[in-house]
Amino acid sequence: MTILSCEDVSKHFKDTVAVKGVSLALGAAESIGIVGESGSGKSTLANILGGLIPPTSGTVYFDGEKISDMKKTDYMNFRQNVQFVFQSPKESLHPYLKVRTSLREPFYAKGRRRTLKKEIDSQILRALERVQLNESVLDKYPHQLSGGQAQRVSIVRAMITDPKVVIFDEAVSALDILVQREVIEILKKLRQNIRTSYLFITHDISTVQSLTDRIIVMKDGRIVEIGKTEDVLNDPQNSYTKKLIESAI
Ligand SMILES: Nc1ncnc2c1ncn2[C@@H]1O[C@H](COP(=O)(O)OP(=O)(O)OP(=O)(O)O)[C@@H](O)[C@H]1O
Protein backbone atom coordinates (compact mmCIF):
# COMPACT_ATOMS: atom_id res chain seq x y z
CA MET A 1 0.00 0.00 0.00
CA THR A 2 1.26 3.47 -0.92
CA ILE A 3 1.18 6.12 1.78
CA LEU A 4 2.74 9.15 0.06
CA SER A 5 3.23 9.66 -3.66
CA CYS A 6 3.57 12.22 -6.41
CA GLU A 7 2.80 12.17 -10.10
CA ASP A 8 4.65 14.23 -12.69
CA VAL A 9 5.61 16.91 -10.18
CA SER A 10 7.61 19.96 -11.28
CA LYS A 11 8.73 23.06 -9.41
CA HIS A 12 9.87 26.33 -10.95
CA PHE A 13 11.57 29.13 -9.03
CA LYS A 14 11.67 32.03 -11.51
CA ASP A 15 14.26 30.84 -14.06
CA THR A 16 15.25 27.69 -12.16
CA VAL A 17 13.43 24.42 -12.69
CA ALA A 18 14.29 22.64 -9.43
CA VAL A 19 12.18 19.50 -10.00
CA LYS A 20 11.19 18.20 -13.43
CA GLY A 21 8.37 15.72 -13.90
CA VAL A 22 9.08 13.47 -10.92
CA SER A 23 6.80 10.57 -9.96
CA LEU A 24 7.41 8.32 -7.00
CA ALA A 25 5.53 6.25 -4.46
CA LEU A 26 6.52 5.62 -0.86
CA GLY A 27 4.98 2.45 0.50
CA ALA A 28 3.60 2.03 4.00
CA ALA A 29 6.53 1.04 6.26
CA GLU A 30 8.96 1.57 3.39
CA SER A 31 12.17 3.57 3.64
CA ILE A 32 13.51 5.41 0.59
CA GLY A 33 16.78 7.34 0.22
CA ILE A 34 16.80 10.29 -2.17
CA VAL A 35 20.39 11.01 -3.13
CA GLY A 36 22.09 13.44 -5.47
CA GLU A 37 24.55 16.28 -5.46
CA SER A 38 23.80 19.74 -4.10
CA GLY A 39 21.18 21.51 -6.19
CA SER A 40 19.73 18.35 -7.75
CA GLY A 41 16.27 19.11 -6.33
CA LYS A 42 16.11 16.69 -3.39
CA SER A 43 14.96 19.17 -0.72
CA THR A 44 12.50 20.82 -3.07
CA LEU A 45 10.94 17.42 -3.82
CA ALA A 46 10.85 16.53 -0.11
CA ASN A 47 9.24 19.86 0.75
CA ILE A 48 6.59 19.31 -1.92
CA LEU A 49 5.89 15.78 -0.69
CA GLY A 50 5.58 17.02 2.90
CA GLY A 51 3.27 19.88 1.94
CA LEU A 52 5.71 22.66 2.88
CA ILE A 53 5.60 24.13 -0.63
CA PRO A 54 3.17 23.57 -3.51
CA PRO A 55 4.38 22.11 -6.81
CA THR A 56 4.14 24.29 -9.94
CA SER A 57 2.48 21.32 -11.66
CA GLY A 58 1.72 17.72 -10.85
CA THR A 59 -0.11 16.00 -8.02
CA VAL A 60 0.75 14.81 -4.51
CA TYR A 61 -1.29 12.09 -2.81
CA PHE A 62 -1.37 11.17 0.86
CA ASP A 63 -3.17 7.99 1.84
CA GLY A 64 -4.84 7.91 -1.57
CA GLU A 65 -6.16 11.48 -1.48
CA LYS A 66 -4.92 14.44 -3.54
CA ILE A 67 -3.55 16.96 -1.06
CA SER A 68 -4.70 19.85 -3.25
CA ASP A 69 -8.32 18.65 -2.89
CA MET A 70 -8.21 18.03 0.87
CA LYS A 71 -10.61 19.74 3.22
CA LYS A 72 -9.06 21.48 6.22
CA THR A 73 -9.29 18.56 8.67
CA ASP A 74 -7.84 16.07 6.19
CA TYR A 75 -5.09 18.53 5.30
CA MET A 76 -4.24 19.03 9.00
CA ASN A 77 -4.20 15.26 9.42
CA PHE A 78 -1.80 14.99 6.46
CA ARG A 79 0.54 17.66 7.88
CA GLN A 80 0.54 15.99 11.31
CA ASN A 81 1.34 12.66 9.74
CA VAL A 82 4.28 13.80 7.64
CA GLN A 83 7.02 15.11 9.93
CA PHE A 84 10.47 16.51 9.10
CA VAL A 85 13.88 16.32 10.71
CA PHE A 86 16.16 18.95 9.16
CA GLN A 87 19.93 19.23 8.93
CA SER A 88 20.18 21.70 11.74
CA PRO A 89 18.28 21.11 14.98
CA LYS A 90 17.84 24.89 14.95
CA GLU A 91 15.26 24.40 12.21
CA SER A 92 13.36 21.74 14.18
CA LEU A 93 13.63 23.10 17.75
CA HIS A 94 12.50 26.46 19.10
CA PRO A 95 15.57 28.20 20.58
CA TYR A 96 13.67 29.80 23.49
CA LEU A 97 11.79 26.69 24.58
CA LYS A 98 13.14 24.09 26.93
CA VAL A 99 13.29 20.60 25.45
CA ARG A 100 10.41 19.49 27.70
CA THR A 101 8.10 22.12 26.19
CA SER A 102 9.24 21.35 22.63
CA LEU A 103 8.48 17.68 23.16
CA ARG A 104 5.04 18.27 24.71
CA GLU A 105 3.98 20.58 21.91
CA PRO A 106 3.36 17.92 19.19
CA PHE A 107 0.74 16.25 21.41
CA TYR A 108 -1.17 19.52 21.68
CA ALA A 109 -0.74 20.22 17.95
CA LYS A 110 -2.29 16.82 17.30
CA GLY A 111 -5.33 17.86 19.30
CA ARG A 112 -4.50 15.68 22.27
CA ARG A 113 -4.80 18.51 24.75
CA ARG A 114 -6.93 16.28 26.91
CA THR A 115 -4.27 13.59 27.16
CA LEU A 116 -3.03 13.74 30.72
CA LYS A 117 0.24 15.62 31.17
CA LYS A 118 1.47 12.65 33.18
CA GLU A 119 0.79 10.32 30.27
CA ILE A 120 2.47 12.73 27.81
CA ASP A 121 5.52 13.00 30.07
CA SER A 122 5.86 9.26 30.44
CA GLN A 123 5.67 8.86 26.64
CA ILE A 124 8.40 11.50 26.35
CA LEU A 125 10.60 9.60 28.81
CA ARG A 126 10.12 6.33 26.91
CA ALA A 127 10.99 8.10 23.64
CA LEU A 128 14.16 9.64 25.15
CA GLU A 129 15.22 6.19 26.28
CA ARG A 130 14.85 4.84 22.74
CA VAL A 131 17.32 7.45 21.45
CA GLN A 132 19.61 6.97 24.46
CA LEU A 133 19.10 10.41 25.96
CA ASN A 134 19.03 11.11 29.67
CA GLU A 135 15.97 12.85 31.08
CA SER A 136 18.21 15.72 32.22
CA VAL A 137 17.99 17.13 28.65
CA LEU A 138 14.36 18.05 29.34
CA ASP A 139 15.36 21.08 31.41
CA LYS A 140 17.81 22.39 28.84
CA TYR A 141 17.49 24.80 25.96
CA PRO A 142 18.62 23.62 22.50
CA HIS A 143 21.86 25.68 22.64
CA GLN A 144 22.85 23.80 25.81
CA LEU A 145 22.87 20.47 23.95
CA SER A 146 25.62 18.95 21.82
CA GLY A 147 24.90 18.60 18.08
CA GLY A 148 24.20 14.89 18.44
CA GLN A 149 21.93 15.37 21.47
CA ALA A 150 20.01 18.16 19.73
CA GLN A 151 19.52 16.04 16.63
CA ARG A 152 18.24 13.16 18.76
CA VAL A 153 15.77 15.53 20.43
CA SER A 154 14.64 16.65 16.94
CA ILE A 155 14.11 13.00 16.00
CA VAL A 156 12.07 12.38 19.16
CA ARG A 157 9.99 15.50 18.47
CA ALA A 158 9.25 14.41 14.89
CA MET A 159 8.34 10.86 15.87
CA ILE A 160 6.68 11.17 19.25
CA THR A 161 3.11 11.24 18.00
CA ASP A 162 3.66 8.28 15.67
CA PRO A 163 3.43 10.01 12.27
CA LYS A 164 2.96 7.85 9.19
CA VAL A 165 5.94 9.41 7.39
CA VAL A 166 9.15 11.03 8.61
CA ILE A 167 11.34 12.95 6.16
CA PHE A 168 14.99 13.35 7.18
CA ASP A 169 16.56 16.14 5.14
CA GLU A 170 20.35 15.82 5.51
CA ALA A 171 19.63 15.03 9.15
CA VAL A 172 22.99 13.42 9.87
CA SER A 173 25.19 15.36 7.43
CA ALA A 174 26.23 18.11 9.82
CA LEU A 175 27.27 15.74 12.60
CA ASP A 176 30.84 14.59 13.01
CA ILE A 177 31.50 11.08 11.81
CA LEU A 178 31.29 9.26 15.17
CA VAL A 179 28.09 11.01 16.20
CA GLN A 180 26.76 10.39 12.70
CA ARG A 181 27.30 6.65 13.19
CA GLU A 182 25.56 6.75 16.57
CA VAL A 183 22.53 8.54 15.13
CA ILE A 184 22.39 6.10 12.18
CA GLU A 185 22.39 3.17 14.64
CA ILE A 186 19.52 4.80 16.53
CA LEU A 187 17.60 5.36 13.32
CA LYS A 188 18.13 1.71 12.37
CA LYS A 189 16.56 0.69 15.68
CA LEU A 190 13.67 3.13 15.26
CA ARG A 191 13.00 1.66 11.84
CA GLN A 192 11.97 -1.52 13.59
CA ASN A 193 8.73 0.32 14.27
CA ILE A 194 7.17 -1.07 11.14
CA ARG A 195 4.29 1.36 10.96
CA THR A 196 6.36 4.34 9.90
CA SER A 197 7.64 5.18 6.41
CA TYR A 198 10.83 7.14 5.89
CA LEU A 199 12.40 9.40 3.29
CA PHE A 200 16.09 10.07 3.80
CA ILE A 201 17.44 12.98 1.76
CA THR A 202 21.22 13.07 1.44
CA HIS A 203 24.10 13.96 -0.83
CA ASP A 204 26.12 11.17 0.83
CA ILE A 205 24.87 7.83 -0.43
CA SER A 206 26.91 5.95 2.22
CA THR A 207 24.80 7.37 5.08
CA VAL A 208 21.61 5.74 3.80
CA GLN A 209 22.77 2.31 2.71
CA SER A 210 21.83 0.66 5.99
CA LEU A 211 18.63 2.67 6.45
CA THR A 212 16.71 2.28 3.20
CA ASP A 213 14.87 -0.33 1.14
CA ARG A 214 15.15 1.64 -2.10
CA ILE A 215 17.27 4.48 -3.41
CA ILE A 216 16.27 7.22 -5.82
CA VAL A 217 19.07 9.13 -7.52
CA MET A 218 18.33 12.69 -8.63
CA LYS A 219 20.25 14.88 -11.04
CA ASP A 220 19.20 18.28 -12.36
CA GLY A 221 15.69 17.89 -10.95
CA ARG A 222 15.03 14.47 -12.50
CA ILE A 223 15.18 10.89 -11.26
CA VAL A 224 18.03 9.19 -13.11
CA GLU A 225 17.97 5.89 -11.24
CA ILE A 226 15.66 4.08 -8.88
CA GLY A 227 16.01 0.61 -7.42
CA LYS A 228 16.55 -1.57 -4.40
CA THR A 229 19.33 -0.12 -2.25
CA GLU A 230 21.46 -3.24 -2.64
CA ASP A 231 21.09 -3.28 -6.42
CA VAL A 232 21.79 0.44 -6.83
CA LEU A 233 24.90 0.22 -4.67
CA ASN A 234 26.27 -3.03 -6.10
CA ASP A 235 25.29 -2.60 -9.70
CA PRO A 236 24.52 1.04 -10.51
CA GLN A 237 23.11 1.47 -14.00
CA ASN A 238 23.64 5.18 -14.40
CA SER A 239 27.09 6.75 -14.79
CA TYR A 240 26.13 9.56 -12.41
CA THR A 241 25.15 7.04 -9.72
CA LYS A 242 28.54 5.36 -10.18
CA LYS A 243 30.24 8.71 -9.59
CA LEU A 244 28.19 9.31 -6.43
CA ILE A 245 29.14 5.89 -5.07
CA GLU A 246 32.81 6.38 -5.91
CA SER A 247 32.89 9.78 -4.23
CA ALA A 248 31.34 8.32 -1.07
CA ILE A 249 34.03 5.65 -0.66
N1 LIG B 1 13.22 29.00 -2.59
C2 LIG B 1 13.96 28.95 -3.68
N3 LIG B 1 14.07 30.01 -4.52
C4 LIG B 1 14.82 29.95 -5.63
N5 LIG B 1 15.53 28.86 -6.01
C6 LIG B 1 15.48 27.78 -5.22
C7 LIG B 1 14.70 27.77 -4.02
N8 LIG B 1 14.83 26.55 -3.44
C9 LIG B 1 15.66 25.83 -4.24
N10 LIG B 1 16.04 26.57 -5.31
C11 LIG B 1 16.91 26.12 -6.40
O12 LIG B 1 16.40 24.89 -6.87
C13 LIG B 1 17.46 23.99 -7.17
C14 LIG B 1 17.30 22.72 -6.35
O15 LIG B 1 17.53 23.04 -4.97
P16 LIG B 1 17.33 21.98 -3.79
O17 LIG B 1 17.63 22.68 -2.51
O18 LIG B 1 16.04 21.31 -3.95
O19 LIG B 1 18.49 20.95 -4.13
P20 LIG B 1 19.16 19.87 -3.17
O21 LIG B 1 19.47 18.71 -4.04
O22 LIG B 1 18.31 19.63 -2.00
O23 LIG B 1 20.48 20.61 -2.75
P24 LIG B 1 21.19 20.69 -1.31
O25 LIG B 1 21.69 19.30 -1.03
O26 LIG B 1 22.28 21.67 -1.51
O27 LIG B 1 20.14 21.15 -0.36
C28 LIG B 1 18.76 24.74 -6.89
O29 LIG B 1 19.21 25.30 -8.10
C30 LIG B 1 18.32 25.82 -5.93
O31 LIG B 1 19.16 26.95 -6.04
pLDDT per residue over 2-33, tens digit each?
999 999 999 999 999 999 999 999 999 999 99
Q: How far is the CA of 18 from the centre of ligand 1 (A)?
A: 6
Best residue among 44, 49, 168 to mutate for probing ligand 1's pocket (most ligand atoms within 8 Å of CB) is 44
Q: What is the reported pLDDT for 115?
A: 66
User: What stretches of 50-133 show up as alpha helix (H) in DSSP?
Assistant: 72-81, 89-92, 99-109, 117-130
What pLDDT does residue 176 have? 82
Amino acid (one-letter) located at 143 = H
What phi and psi, each to the nearest 5 degrees, are found at residue 67? Answer: -70, -25
Bridge partners of 169, per DSSP, are 201
- The pLDDT tens digits for 189-227 are 888 877 899 999 998 888 888 899 999 999 999 999 999
User: Binning pLDDT at 50, 70 and 90, where does residue 114 land?
Assistant: low
Q: Where is 60: in which H helix or E strand?
A: strand 57-62
Task: Give the pLDDT score at 161.
Answer: 86
Listed range (46-50, 98-102, 175-179) with the worst mean pLDDT: 175-179
Residue 136 has pLDDT above 90, yes or no: yes
Q: What's the average model confidence in pLDDT over 169-186? A: 85
Q: Which residue, judged by its Cα, is nearest atom 3 of ligand 1?
A: 13
Confidence label for 178 from pLDDT (cuts 50, 70 and 90): confident
Task: Give the Cα separation of 226 and 214 in Å (integer).
Answer: 7
Q: Indicate the domain borders of the chain.
A: 2-89+163-248
What's the confidence (pLDDT) of residue 247?
85
Sign of CA pseudo-dihedral 94, 99, 100, 106: positive
ipTM over 0.85: yes
CB 225 within 8 A of CB 233: no
C-beta 236 within 6 A of ligand 1: no
In CATH terms, the fold of domain 2-89+163-248 is Rossmann fold (3.40.50)
| Per-residue pLDDT band at 147 (split at 50, 70, 90) | confident
pLDDT tops 80 at residue 135: yes
